[in-house]
Amino acid sequence: MQKQVNCDIDVDLLLAWGATFHTYQRGHVLFCEGDLAHFYYQVVEGKIKMCNTNDEGREFIQGIFEPGESFGEPPLFDGGSYPASAVADEQCTIIRLRKENFLQLLKDNFEIHFCFTQTLARRLRYKSLMSKEISSYGPLHRVTTLLQEYKKGRGMKENELSKIELTRQQIADMTGLRVETVIRTIRQMQDAGNLKIEKGKVYF
């Protein structure tokens, strides 16, 4: 299976263009929904989640980003505001580069620019797919699709069990389901032989 495009920019190249390292504790908000974008962000260590919160305090996770992955790029290109907030999901180190420098870096490096086009297209496809899942299908279909996309995005083999580094709560927040529903659905999938649970971890 072909690994999905992961357009991480070499850290030394980012530093050469003026990027700086920043360390955040779990729960720190890097930017909020509605803020204007001033920096390119890339994860060095830890995890970042981009999420929306409704009036009732319910969180919906748009994506979880791991080392080597960037996040929050669209407003850098269209000049709009962030459609979601970015929060440290655990202690993490981020490298960030000012918007003006980032855009010039892309202009001077066609291969990186093209890679970002592929990355944004892949994320758009994922969002369209999950929107369809949430509006049209039940829990089993939603959870299965999310796990399939998780494996695909990380280059895991389809026909081999792989550890899913997502909590039940994160799966719920990414599929629009209640965590109780996710727990019940995962048990059903295990009973049907579609996944394995070992020491509380899901292998799919």
Compute how many other C-beta atoms are within 10 angstroms of the C-beta atom of residue 60: 16
| Shared domain check, 112 and 16 | yes
Tokens of 186: 């995962």
Instruction: Write the pLDDT tens digit of every residue in 102-112.
Output: 999 999 999 99
> What confidence score (pLDDT) does residue 5 get?
47
Are 117 and 16 members of one domain? yes
Can you give the residue range of the structural domain that contains 146?
A: 138-203
Q: What pLDDT score was predicted for residue 158?
A: 86
Same-domain pairing of 155 and 115: no
Give residue-wise pLDDT tens across range 6-65.
678 999 999 999 999 999 999 999 999 999 999 999 999 999 999 999 888 889 999 999
- The count of structural domains within the chain is 2
Q: Are residues 144 and 107 in the same domain?
A: no
- Above 50 in pLDDT, residue 159? yes
Residue 148's alpha-carbon distances to 14, 139, 186, in angstroms, are 32, 14, 14
- Find the CATH number of the domain harbouring 154: 1.10.10.10
CATH of the domain at 40: 2.60.120.10
pLDDT value of residue 153: 85
88 part of a folded domain:
yes
How far apart are the C-alpha atoms of 51 and 29, rounded to whole Å?
Answer: 11
